[in-house]
Structure 1
C-alpha cells in the first residue's frame, strides 16, 4: 500500500516564501465570515452580560478574532467605559471589546 503524505512531502523542496504563501492562502480559504446580529439578539446578549455581571455568574463568551470565533469562560468583574468588559478566567484576566462579542451563555452550575 502506498502512503501518500500530501503536501508534506513537497515542503522540503519549497522555498520558505512559498511555504509562507501556502499557509496564508489556507488561512484565507478557510476563514469564516462574522455574522451580523439582529436587534433582538443584541438585546438578549446585553441582558445576559448584565445578569452575569450583577449576579457574579460564570459566563461563556464567543468573540470574533482573527477570522475565527474564540470562546472564553469566566466571570465578568467590570464593564469599562472604554467599551470593554473585564473577564476573569481561571488563568488570566482578559479585556474583551464589546464590538467583538457575538454570543454569551450563562453557566448554570449544575452538572448531571
Structure 2
C-alpha cells in the first residue's frame, strides 16, 4: 500500500495531454454546443461594483486633478459584465452627453462617465 502512495505522489499530471471538451463535441448537437458556449460566457461576467457617494467623489477628484495637471490616467470601466481599462490624458468633459474625451498616443476617444468605476493617476 505504501508503494502505491509513493507512486501516486510522484505522478506528474502536467504531462497528460488531454483533448478536454473537444472529444465530446462530436457527440453533441450544435444547439448543445452553443448553449455550453453561452453558459461559459455568462459565468465569466462580473457584477457591476456597487459604488457609494465617497467612491464617486474620489473618482471626480482624480479626474479634476488629472485634467488640471494634464497627466496620464488609467480608467477602469465596467461594461456588459466585464472590466475594461483605458489609458490616456483627459482632453474634455462633456456633461450634457455625460462623456469624457481621452487621448492616448494613437487616437482620441470618448468614454461614458456612467461606466467609470475607478480612476488612477499615473505619474
Tell me the residue number matched to 1:77. Answer: 91
Cα-to-partner distance string for 1:28-84 (whole Å, 9 max, x where unaligned): 112110111121111010010111112211000000012111110001111013100
In 1, distance between residues paired with 2:122 and 2:16? Answer: 49
Tell me the residue number matched to 2:12. Answer: none
1:94 maps onto 2:109 in alignment: yes
Please identify the structure whose Cα radius of gyration is greater: 2
Q: TM-score, normalised by structure 1?
A: 0.85
- How many angstroms does 1:97 deviate by? 0.7
- SS of match in other structure, 2:51: coil
- SS of match in other structure, 1:74: strand
Relative distance call for 1:93 and 1:14 in structure 2 (3 A) is farther
What count of residue pairs does the alignment treat as equivalent? 108
Instruction: List 4+ stretches of structure 1 deviating above 4 A.
Output: none
Tell me the residue number matched to 1:37. Answer: 51
Relative distance call for 1:18 and 1:98 in structure 2 (3 A) is same
Give the aligned CA root-mean-square deviation in angstroms. Answer: 1.7
Q: TM-score, normalised by structure 2?
A: 0.78
In 1, distance between residues paired with 2:92 and 2:75? Answer: 15
* Consecutive unaligned residues in structure 1, runs of 5 or more: none
